[in-house]
């Protein structure tokens, strides 16, 4: 399962780089506070890659993201997912967006690993900082986690 996930991420990133034009891809990294814990909250790190689809009628983006969370007492979660995003009020793939995530929720606890289906909805705002940098505050809800809030800093290339 781990090899297959790494292979899929590698192929997506590599293939998207081949066909990407200037400013069509983005990568971001940032902290998240979420409910990826049996009790209380967890802290996490989010890493994401996306590709802007060249569709004239809608500003759609596809990509992958992964969240790694811990409650700092032995309960860890890894969430690899694919995404589709729609910038509904922005232009040039910036502004307000709605996103759907679909993936796997891997629970790592006391040396055991369990997996669950992951489905989520995310909403946020991508704000440009110059021509290639951006920040992106967001909130998300879904299953099996209850919620997550965070901010990503990234680069368009």
Question: What's the pLDDT score for residue 18?
Answer: 46
In this prediction, the residues of the chain whose per-residue pLDDT falls under 50 are 16-20
Question: What's the pLDDT score for residue 1?
Answer: 54
Q: Where are the alpha helices (DSSP H) in 20-146?
A: none
Does pTM top 0.85 for this prediction? Answer: no
Number of domains composing the chain: 1
| CATH number for the domain harbouring residue 63 | 2.40.160.20
| Residue range of the domain that includes 141 | 2-156
Question: What's the pLDDT score for residue 21?
Answer: 54
Question: What's the pLDDT score for residue 89?
Answer: 85
């Amino acid at each position: 399962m781990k090899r297959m996930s790494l292979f899929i991420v590698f192929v997506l990133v590599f293939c998207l780089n081949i066909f990407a034009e200037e400013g069509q891809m983005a990568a971001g990294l940032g902290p998240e506070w979420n409910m990826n814990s049996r009790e209380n909250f967890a802290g996490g790190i989010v890493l994401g890659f996306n590709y802007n689809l060249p569709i004239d009628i809608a500003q759609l983006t596809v990509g992958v993201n992964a969240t790694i969370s811990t409650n700092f007492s032995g309960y860890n979660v890894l969430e690899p997912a694919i995404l589709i995003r729609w910038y509904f009020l922005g232009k040039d793939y910036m502004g307000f967006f709605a996103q759907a995530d679909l993936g796997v929720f891997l629970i790592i606890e006391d040396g055991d690993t369990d997996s669950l289906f992951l489905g989520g909805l995310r909403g946020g705002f991508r704000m440009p900082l110059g021509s290639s940098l951006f920040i992106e505050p967001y909130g998300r809800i879904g299953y099996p986690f209850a919620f997550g809030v965070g901010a990503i800093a990234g680069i368009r290339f």
